[in-house]
């Protein structure tokens, strides 16, 4: 089943996204809310992914980013017994609309809000990251394992915390010099690809929509990395919760959390 879902994602991205890249007309780019774009490519891809997943997994619930924009109450169903899929048909829409090559299609399967399988696909480079609980993480058929254990001062990281409350944000921004700040591609899918392929050592985000981070959470975890909420709780999709920290090792996870968000109570992640 994971491979069949991967093939569905590949087919949809190749037919609905790639031909539209750098070929959108102005009227095909819409601002859903100030600063939040959607394109005809987002909608077309979701319109094919959702029924495709229902065909492969009869009775499943599909929670897509665009469907949730139209019906916000749909997001409250992420914790159902399942099977539940969360779908980001085009992660990195602003990049896509501007012609920047950092976008991806992401899908995760949840059980009671917990990610149990995930797929991240970069259609331009044909890179498919996928993981299933207990089955490891794979990139185009090659098993990946996160290794290395850098200290924070030598770690390449990204902290996307624009919506983090004060005074925590000011403190974190003041401490960016304590790691090698590589910034973000403005596409979570590509950022997770960079972590899994060795270009990054940790990622911190504050806004955590399920379709943006559930795929990465299971993919990092199954590769041997550490993932959790900054307070130490496991990452479970929950509309009311904020923050996700992913790192290539438990020790680096703790260093990053204790340095960048020192007021959070240490928990069980990495222990």
Q: What is the CATH number of the domain that holds 14?
A: 3.30.540.10
221-263 tens-digit pLDDT: 999 999 999 988 999 999 888 999 999 999 999 999 999 998 7
CA distance 147 to 142: 15
222 Cβ contact partners less than 8 Å away, ≥ 6 residues apart: 131, 132, 133, 134, 135, 136, 137
Q: Is residue 88 in some structural domain? A: yes
- Number of structural domains (the chain) is 2
Nearest to 96 by CA among 12, 205, 16: 16
Global pTM reads: 0.95
Note whether 42 and 166 are same-domain residues.
Answer: no
Q: Which of 143, 163, 194 is the last residue of a domain?
A: 143
**SS3 (DSSP) at 26:** helix
Q: Whole domain around residue 34: which residue ranges?
A: 2-143
Note whether 176 and 81 are same-domain residues.
Answer: no
CATH assignment of the domain containing 180: 3.40.190.80
Answer for the pair 128, 6: CB distance below 8 angstroms, yes or no.
Answer: yes
Note whether 132 and 158 are same-domain residues.
Answer: no
Determine how many CB atoms are found less than 10 A away from the CB of residue 253. Answer: 23
102-151 tens-digit pLDDT: 999 999 999 999 999 999 999 999 999 999 999 999 999 999 999 999 99
Q: Is residue 270 in some structural domain? A: no
């Amino acid at each position: 089943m994971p491979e069949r879902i991967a093939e569905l994602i590949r087919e949809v991205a190749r037919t609905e996204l790639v031909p539209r890249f750098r070929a959108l007309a102005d009227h095909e780019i819409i601002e859903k809310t100030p600063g939040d774009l959607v394109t005809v490519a987002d909608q077309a891809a979701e319109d094919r992914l959702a029924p495709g997943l229902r065909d492969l997994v009869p009775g499943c619930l599909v929670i897509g980013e665009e469907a949730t924009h139209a019906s916000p109450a749909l997001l409250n169903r992420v914790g159902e017994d399942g099977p539940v899929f969360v779908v980001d048909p085009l992660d990195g829409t602003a990049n896509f609309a501007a012609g920047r090559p950092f976008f991806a299609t992401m899908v995760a399967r949840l059980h009671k809000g917990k990610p149990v399988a995930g797929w991240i696909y970069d259609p331009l480079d044909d890179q498919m990251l996928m993981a299933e609980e207990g089955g490891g993480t794979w990139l185009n058929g090659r098993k990946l394992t996160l290794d290395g254990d850098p200290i924070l001062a030598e770690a390449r990281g990204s902290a996307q915390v624009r919506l983090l409350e004060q005074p925590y944000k000011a403190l974190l921004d003041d401490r960016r010099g304590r790691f090698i700040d590589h910034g973000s591609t403005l596409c979570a899918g590509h950022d997770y690809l960079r972590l899994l392929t060795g270009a990054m050592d940790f990622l911190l985000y504050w806004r955590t929509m399920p379709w943006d981070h559930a795929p990465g959470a299971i993919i990092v975890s199954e590769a041997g990395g550490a993932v959790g909420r900054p307070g130490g709780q496991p990452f479970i999709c929950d509309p009311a919760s904020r923050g996700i920290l992913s790192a290539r090792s438990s020790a680096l996870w703790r260093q990053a959390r204790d340095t960048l968000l020192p007021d959070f109570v240490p928990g069980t992640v990495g222990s």
